[in-house]
Amino acid sequence: MLFDDSYNQIESIGIGLYKELGSKFIAYPFLVHNKKEVNESLIEVKKKEKSASHYCYAYVLNPDQSIFKINDDGEPNSTAGKPILTQIKNRKLTNILVVVVRYFGGKKLGIPGLIRSYKNATLDALQKSTIINKKIKEQYEIEFNHGEMNQVMCIVKKHNLEICHRAFIENNIFTINILQKETDLILRVFKKNNIKTIYKKIV
């Protein structure tokens, strides 16, 4: 169950950079919505930074931040992915992947140095990116007959509902987004008007 009615995600992207004892850390943030986009973004970074020694990352998915993962890519356990994830969670971000690329400078940084470096590279990238707040919505499919079109459109207009898709077959089927905090009210309105609703997902 979600307790917030909004979430943060990045809109414009900034590249982060941090250097320590000759090692260079470059942080690439991406707006992602599923694991396929995560994998595609990782491939993109590896093509761009072919000679890097490590490609560490963390990602968070879904409005409720229910899916997340870290990867240290050969660095000591929890010295890379965890500090990246911490910076993401500090800003309550989701639908985000941050990949931090390391070029080894010849000197070992030790555990504190690695944690600091991955943290600061991520921090620099997020500070250079634009973060927006989005309201959590629930998506429903509504079904009604042609004679109920005006009735449904009045409800949509009155409550400022977002129509994502329309299908006109034997009956009309609309896919709509409702602000999560208004869901109970809107569903009662549809039920009162005998409009069938089917829950789809959170968006």
Q: What is the pLDDT of residue 2?
A: 44
Q: Is residue 130 located within the same domain as residue 77? A: yes
Count of structural domains within the chain: 2
- Regarding whether 173 and 160 lie in a shared domain, the answer is yes
Range of the domain at 141: 136-202
Say whether both 143 and 130 belong to one domain. Answer: no
The domain boundary residue, chosen from 97, 119, 134: 134
Domain-embedded: residue 41: yes
What global pTM score does this model have? 0.81
Which of these three, 134, 159, 181, is where a domain ends?
134
If you write DSSP's letter for every residue of 167-185 in order, what string do you get? EESSSEEEEEEEEGGGHHH
What's the CA gap between 20 and 8, in Å, rounded?
Answer: 30
Look up tokens 């004679």; give the residue: 147
Rg (CA), the chain: 22
The CATH number assigned to the domain holding 93 equals 3.30.230.30
pLDDT in tens, 147-198: 899 999 999 999 999 999 999 888 899 999 999 889 999 999 999 999 999 9
The overall average pLDDT reported for the chain is: 94
- Measured CA to CA, the distance from residue 145 to residue 165 in angstroms comes to 16
Domain match, 54 and 117 both? yes
| Residue 1: per-residue pLDDT | 38
Domain boundary among the residues 83, 103, 134 is at 134
Q: Fill in the amino acid letter for 117.
A: S
Any idea which residue has 């977002």 for tokens?
Answer: 162
Q: Does residue 83 lie in a domain region?
A: yes
* Residue type at 77 in one-letter notation: N
Q: Among the residues of the chain, which ranges form H helices? A: 35-48, 81-90, 110-128, 149-158, 183-192
Q: Has residue 159 been placed in a domain?
A: yes
Single-letter amino acid code for the residue at 200: K
Tens of pLDDT, residues 61-92:
998 899 999 999 999 999 999 999 999 999 99
Q: Are residues 86 and 168 in the same domain?
A: no
Residues 111 and 166 reside in one and the same domain: no
What pLDDT is attached to residue 93?
97
CB 100 within 8 A of CB 118: yes
Q: Based on the fold, state whether residues 18 and 51 are members of the same structural domain.
A: yes
